[in-house]
Structure 1
Amino acid sequence: MRALLTRDLRLAVRAGGGFGLGLAFFLIVVVLVPFGVGPEADILARIAPGILWVAALLAALLSLDRIFALDHEDGSLPLLATAPLPLEMLALAKAAAHWVTTGLPLVVAAPLLGVLLHLPGQAMPWLLVSLALGTPALSLIGTFGAALTVGLRRGGLLLSLIVLPLYVPVLIFGAEAARRGAEGLPAQTPLLLLAGIGLGCAALLPFATAAALRVTLR
């Protein structure tokens, strides 16, 4: 599994769907928001948690269609499916590679970009924790959606339609935790719910992803 993870990390970076693409999109959204809503610090501070979470969600969505697409195009996906490694572990490795190349850079960059939106300093730790708990769930859900649409023409649009409704609970609880932290309110409840979603995704979605791949490869 370690070799597969290393391979996927290299492929993601070489294909241009790695660190740079998500971070560039994240930065563009954060920079454009003050032009749309105005430069008032109070308004920006109030909407900053939601804006940062929406931008992170959309940035994670950009590279989902490449999770299995490269393997499908070069014919290595059927070989991976017949390898000794179970398909469930393959799905976990793909999700982990996506998180490392997309989710982790967003977690690291979010506090720095939060400064541009005048996010209160007391909200920074809560934003970090909420993104650290929520972005793995985004990668797991996205891997499942990518398995459903691999090999389809214009599957990227269908993938977005499948994945975005499943992203909504993660977005709600993640943004709520950051908002409560910004206002000095207890944020443990949304964080626990966010952690529960992540654990549920880790427990169930690798099996669902493996089943989708088996159907696709028949």
Structure 2
Amino acid sequence: MIALLVRDLRLAVRAGGGFGLGLAFFLIVVVLVPFGVGPESGLLSKIAPGVLWIGALLACLLSLDRIFALDWEDGSLDLLATAPVPLEGIVSMKALAHWLTTGLPLVLAAPALGVFLSLPQQGYVWLVASLAMGTPALSVIGTFGAALTVGIKRGGLLLSLLVLPLYVPTLIFGAEVARRGAEGFEVMTPLLMLGGITFGTLALLPFASAAVLRINLR
């Protein structure tokens, strides 16, 4: 399993779908927002949590179609499906590799990019906490979407359409945690909801993704 994780990390970097692409997109979104809404710091600080969460969500979408595509093209996915390792474990390693190359860099970069949007000082801790808790759910849900569309030529648009509605609850509660934290309000209720969504997806979706892959590989 560790060897599979290391292999996926190397493939993500070599194929150009690693953390660099997601970070560049995240930076572009954050830099363009002040040009669109104006440089007023009061307005920027109010919308900063939502903008940062939307930027992170869209950045996660960029590399979802690569989770299984490379293995499908070279036939490795068939070998992995017949390996003595449970397919659920393989799917989990794929999701972990995606989070390490996409989600984790976004979590680490978010505080620096929050400066561009005049994020209040008390909001940085809760922004990082919400992204650290929510981005694993984005990767696991994205892995499920990638399993649904594996083998479909040019399925990137279809994948985005399938995954985006599933991302909405994570976006709502993640942005709410960051917003309440920035404004000094109580954050435990949306934080618990966000944690429930993340742990629920971690517990259930690997089995759903594995079942979908078995159907697609028949």
TM-score range, shorter chain: over 0.9
SS in 1 for 2:198: helix
Q: Which residue of 1 aligns with 2:59?
A: 59
Task: Confirm or deny that 1:14 pairs with 2:31.
Answer: no
Deviations 1:110-147 (A, max 9, x none): 00000110000100000000000000000000000000
Where in structure 2 are there 5+ consecutive unaligned residues? Answer: none
Offset of residue 19 of structure 1: 1.2
CA distance in 2, matches of 1:207, 1:59: 25
Deviations 1:45-79 (A, max 9, x none): 00000000000000000000000000000110000
Offset of residue 188 of structure 1: 1.0
Deviations 1:151-197 (A, max 9, x none): 10221111001100000000000000000001100111111110100
CA distance in 1, matches of 2:195, 2:185: 19
Name the amino acid aligned to 2:129.
V
Q: Which residue of 1 aligns with 2:50?
A: 50
CA distance in 1, matches of 2:176, 2:139: 20
Runs of 4+ in 1 over 2 A off after TM superposition: none
Where in structure 1 are there 5+ consecutive unaligned residues? Answer: none
Offset of residue 83 of structure 1: 0.5
* Identity over aligned pairs, percent: 76
CA distance in 1, matches of 2:186, 2:111: 20
Q: Which residue of 1 aligns with 2:23?
A: 23
CA distance in 2, matches of 1:46, 1:99: 28
Q: Tell me the TM-score normalised to structure 1 length.
A: 0.99
CA distance in 2, matches of 1:150, 1:91: 13
Q: Which residue of 1 aligns with 2:186?
A: 186
CA distance in 2, matches of 1:95, 1:19: 14
Q: Which residue of 2 aligns with 1:172?
A: 172
Name the amino acid aligned to 1:200.
G
CA distance in 1, matches of 2:51, 2:85: 39
CA distance in 2, matches of 1:84, 1:196: 31
Matches within 5 A, 1:1-218: 1-218=1-218
Q: Tell me the TM-score normalised to structure 2 length.
A: 0.99
Name the amino acid aligned to 1:83.
A
Name the amino acid aligned to 1:24.
A
Q: How much is the aligned-residue C-alpha RMSD, in angstroms?
A: 0.4
CA distance in 2, matches of 1:192, 1:9: 31
Offset of residue 32 of structure 1: 0.2
SS in 2 for 1:160: helix
